[in-house]
Every structure is written in C-alpha cells, then in structure tokens.
Structure 1
Amino acid sequence: MIASVGRAAAVAVAVAALIGAGLFGGTAAAQDRRQNEPGQFDFYVLSLSWSPSYCEAAAERRTRNDNGRPDPQCGARPFSFVVHGLWPQYDRGFPEFCQVPAPRLNREIVSAMLDLMPSPRLVFHEWDRHGVCSGLGARGYFEAVRKARAVVKIPEAYLEPEATLTVTPDEVEEAFVKANPGLDRSGIAVGCNRNRLTEIRICLTRELGFRDCPEVDRRACRRDKLAMPPVRGG
C-alpha cells in the first residue's frame, strides 16, 4: 500500500510539473479539447513489442527491476511479440494519466495478464498511464487488451525465428497486412531504435476493428534495414 501511494504521488508530481512548465498540459490541450477526459478518445493503438530486441537492449544497459532481479520478460521463458499496451488515441495526439492517482489494480488482474504482458511493472504502468483513459474499469480494460491482441495474427515468419532476421519496415508491414485481412498499410507502423525492430503499432477502432491512422503512420521507422534478434533459446 505504501509503495502504491508513493508511486501515485510520484506520477502526480511529474504531471503537475509538466503542466506547470507548459510541456504537457498546454501542448496536449492544443491537440484535442477532450484532453485527458476518461473515455473520450477516437481509436486505440495496440503496441506489440519485439521481446528479443527489448531484452538485448536491456542487457546492454544492464537494466534491472526494483528488486535487483532481471526483468521477468527476459528470463528463461522465451517471448516473441508481447503486448506493450493498448493506448487510447485522438486523431491528433493522445491522452495519458487521465486519473491521478489511478484506481488500484487487483493483483489477480495483474497475474492474469502475464501471458501477454510478461512483467507486473509493465501491467501497472500501462494501467496508470493509458488504461484509465479508456473510461473502462480495470477488468474491462484488460479484457479489451486481450481481445485486441486476439484480433491480430502474427505472420508465421515472426512467430519463433531461430536466427536473427534482417528486415525492412516495408517488408514487415506487408507481412502483417497479408496475414490480417482488413488491415491496411496506413493502419500499421513499425518502431525501431538504431538498428533493431522494437515494436509494431496497429490502429484499431473502439470496437477493435482495423482502421487507418495517418498520424501514427507518419511516426513510423524510416530506416532501410533492421535486425530482429531470434527468440531466446532458438
């Protein structure tokens, strides 16, 4: 309980500082008049993180979680694409931290999501920053996360690669479009760091159907070639 209160207080301080500096409230408010009103948004982005890239980067940074152990996502169990989050979006901009402090998450909900989001810290973070903006209760929001993930079929080549793949953003987008009837190239964006594919962002309606999202698409990775490290143990 003390840790939860401390975390909520830290978020509140950070948001207040950004608003006071004109770096959060002012800019975001200019994007959409509904800024940060729970349940008031236009569509979702489902972000699927390529876990092997995350874990390689984490090892390079020697990233550890709060109790000194490696991130659970990077343990013995191999992961490929995992859910980073389901993010409410405006046609221009997006809401975040719509309720501070966020309603406390039931530990049973957190545990139930670890097959898709393999880190309790990630589940808590996504609820605090994005989930509360959906206007749904915690159980409803994470049910929506699970349904959204079920909508998207991962191309066979990216299920469990045993060696590093060299891909282009266009190739990856095309593979997802072919595997998912109704998905258009303007409704998906590839994310990257300097040389690795990091995530796929797919735009969904509030009813979890595919839709276009020009603003998200414009922020896609523009590099020529990217590495997709293999699934651990492959």
Structure 2
Amino acid sequence: MSFSAVRAAFAVLAVLAFGGEVRAQARHGSPPGEFDFYVLALSWSPAFCEAQGDRMSRSIQCGGDRQFSFVVHGLWPQFTRGFPEYCQVPAPELDRRVVNGMLDIMPAPGLIRAQWNKHGTCAGARSPAAYFETVRQARAKIRIPTEYENVQAALTVTPDEVEDAFVRANPGLTREMISVQCDDRRLREVRVCIGRDMNFTACQEIDRRTCRRERLMVTPVRPGRI
C-alpha cells in the first residue's frame, strides 16, 4: 500500500473515531432522571450581548437599561462521561407563569424554553415548575465574587484568576469542580458542578474543558440605553 493510501486510511479512521467520541458525549432520549450530577452554567451576559450585537439590542437581556452580569444559561444533568439531552419529545409545554417567574435570573424566554426542552426534560422533575425551582436552588448556591458583581470597565484576567475568585467566594468549591469558558478573547461562561444533593462535586470531564487562553477580557456591563 502506498504512503498516500496509508495516510488516507488513517484519516478515515480518525474521522470515525472522532465522530464516535462526539456521538458518545450526547445521549439523545435517555430515560428522564438517570444522571450523575448537574452543571450550572453561568453566562457572562455583557460578553453575550456584545457578541450578538444589534440583533439582541431590543431583547430583555441586552436591550434598554438592563445591566445583567452573570445570568443562568442552564442547569444541565450530566453523566460522569457525556450527558443526556431531549429526554422527552415533545417536551411538556411550559406555562407562561413558569417562564415569567424565571426572567430575573434567565432573562430570555426563548432560552428558558430551549433549556427545558433539551436539559430540563432529563432531570426527572415531577413538573416543569419543580425543575426550575431546582435551577433557582442551584443558582442560590453560588455566590458571585465581588469583583464580578458590577464591572464598569473592562478587566483583563486569566482563567485561573476567575476560578480562584469563585473558589474564594464559595466555601467547599475547589478548582476540580469548576470550568471557565471563553471565545477567542472574552470570558463567556463559568460552569460549576453540583451534585444531586445540591453540594459541589468534582467533575473531571467538565474541568478539563476549561479555557486555555493566557488572558481574557471581562466585558463591562453595558451602560443603559434609551
């Protein structure tokens, strides 16, 4: 077999292996309630709004005089390896009162519905309201470090500095229980692993996916606009 043929064969095997790994991560249609722990994803709202630009300028989250900092992206049931998703299709419809009751910490109705469809249906909650009450309990578990409560000017930080700030602010949280997410230059999200008992838990798979960039910008909270 020629060198080019060998190389092509290895390329095919690599694609198949990679594809298998990706498919193994998400387990579509798993039985509701079968998971090991939660990931609470906290999105840095100013970076999200900056990345979206004018498309989101009239939204609850990014428009007007709203000045959100960390908001809840979602509470995701996880396996030790991989995660369940879309465990009930079609998902039970969300009552408008449930959606409206979450807007203080998840300021986007579309996000709330999408998170319920993809992740909430996997939690095994007795109702959508019960799942979102768990979301609220998980959010209440986390104390946001004071340096990220009201950022008025851009900060330059390292991923380690973000993790350390959260560890200092939250007794019982360690670096093995948290992950920082970024884009090419900005802090985008902090993910915290929480057990089904609502205590922090180690999560190797989540932790090793933390941002590896040397420096990140923390986008300031946007000033109010009329």
TM score, norm. by length of structure 2? 0.86
Cα separation, 2, equivalents of 1:35 and 1:133: 8
Matched, 1:38 2:32: yes
- Letter paired with 2:55: T
Q: What aligned pairs does 1:155-170 form with structure 2 within 5 A after superposition? A: 155-170=145-160
Q: Distance in 1 between matches of 2:220 and 2:98?
A: 30
Does 1:63 find its partner at 2:55? Answer: yes
Size of the alignment, in residue pairs?
206
Q: Give how far 1:35 is off.
A: 6.4
Pairing partner for 1:228 from 206, 215, 218: 218
CA deviations over 1:176-217 (Å, ceiling 9, x no partner): 000000001000000000100000000000011101000001
Instruction: Verify: 1:115 aligned to 2:104, yes or no.
Output: yes
For residue 231 of structure 1, report the CA deviation from its aligned partner. 1.0
The answer to whether the aligner puts 1:203 opposite 2:221 as a matched pair is no
Describe the shift of the 1:29–1:53 C-alpha distance in structure 2 as closer, same or farther (beyond 3 A). closer
Which runs of no fewer than 5 residues in structure 2 stay unpaired?
A: 1-15
Deviation at 1:70, TM superposition (A): 2.9
80, 88, 92: which one aligns with 1:99: 88
Indicate the residue corresponding to 2:123 in structure 1. Answer: 134
Between 1:27-36 and 1:177-186, the stretch displaced more is 27-36
SS of residue paired to 1:140: helix
Tell me, what secondary structure is at the counterpart of 2:30?
A: coil
Alpha-carbon displacement from aligned partner over 1:108-162 (angstroms, at most 9, x marks no partner): 0000000000000000000000000001020110000000000000000000011
Out of 74, 81, 97, the position equivalent to 2:62 is 74
Question: After TM superposition, what 4+ stretches of structure 1 lie above 6 angstroms from structure 2?
Answer: 32-35
Structure-1 separation of matches of 2:66 and 2:102: 15
CA distance in 1, matches of 2:26, 2:34: 10
Q: Give 1 or 2 for the bigger CA radius of gyration.
A: 2
Report the aligned-residue RMSD.
2.3
Contact 1:36 1:98 in 2 (8 A): yes
Matched, 1:178 2:168: yes
Q: Normalising to structure 1: TM-score of the pair?
A: 0.83
* Correspondence for 1:47 among 23, 38, 41: 41
